[in-house]
């Protein structure tokens, strides 16, 4: 009697499991289609922002001259204004986010110079022992006395790179150049959203395929029973 009851319970749980799998497949497919629609819209918006940026940049070159807006005006020291932050909320599902790096962040801090500077302005090689000049009126060191300890050199502060690339092209730049910068920044943010969305779509496709395999195996088991 117990064996017959267990068989009826297994037979009853089979259709319930099949119904649950079917609902999961439907929900995953709907979510996948919504994300594909969002991806298409963001791609169209990205192309529009890039076109706006190039058009505004062309207007700036026409107003200022082609030689005034080009690689020759780039600064010798550059720092990224945007960074890509990665995370993995679920195994096999990476997420990407483009964030604006604030000025003075630890990633942007310039490295301290470890070399001294001579009187002539030429950098001296780093040495464990630094020369110490005698002060006027100071008595000479007595024989057998311990030599004075060298004072630690002050930390050299390197000039911070320009944060705003618009300053490379002058102080008063045309409004079209600011519009080009805004368009390209918006395009960068959209590119990060597109990368994150593509990652979710790939993960959703793999999930749907896995659920369909489970559903196929369950159907075969029910048909065999």
Ranking 30-34, 112-116, 173-177, 194-198 by mean pLDDT, the lowest is 112-116
Q: Is residue 48 part of a domain?
A: yes
pTM over 0.95: no
Domain with 56, as residue range(s), is 13-70+79-103+163-225
Q: Is residue 125 part of a domain?
A: no
Q: Which run of H or of E encompasses 51? A: helix 2-64
For position 20, which CATH number holds? 1.10.287
Q: Which run of H or of E encompasses 31? A: helix 2-64
Contact (CB, 8 A) for 33 and 197: no
| 109-136 pLDDT tens trace | 444 344 444 444 444 444 444 455 555 5
Q: How many domains does one find in the chain? A: 1
| 57-93 pLDDT tens trace | 999 888 888 778 888 878 888 887 888 888 877 777 7
């Amino acid at each position: 009697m117990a064996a017959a009851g267990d068989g009826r319970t297994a037979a009853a749980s089979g259709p319930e499991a099949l119904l649950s799998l079917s609902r999961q497949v439907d929900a995953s497919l709907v979510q996948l289609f919504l994300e594909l629609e969002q991806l298409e819209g963001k791609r169209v918006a990205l192309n529009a922002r890039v076109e706006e940026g190039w058009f505004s940049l062309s207007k700036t070159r026409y107003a200022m001259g082609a030689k005034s807006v080009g690689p020759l005006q780039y600064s010798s020291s550059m720092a990224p204004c945007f960074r890509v932050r990665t995370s993995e909320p679920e195994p096999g599902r990476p997420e990407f986010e483009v964030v604006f790096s604030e000025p003075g962040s630890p990633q942007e801090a310039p490295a301290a110079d470890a070399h001294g500077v001579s009187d002539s302005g030429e950098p001296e090689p780093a040495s464990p022992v630094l020369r110490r000049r005698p002060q006027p009126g100071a008595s000479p060191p007595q024989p057998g006395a311990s030599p004075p300890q060298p004072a630690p050199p002050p930390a050299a502060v390197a000039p911070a790179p320009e944060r705003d690339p618009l300053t490379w092209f002058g102080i008063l730049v045309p409004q079209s150049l600011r519009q080009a910068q805004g368009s390209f920044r918006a395009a960068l943010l959209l590119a990060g959203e597109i990368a994150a969305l593509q990652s979710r779509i790939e993960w959703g496709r793999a999930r749907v395929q896995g659920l369909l395999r489970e559903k196929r195996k369950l159907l075969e088991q029910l048909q065999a029973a």
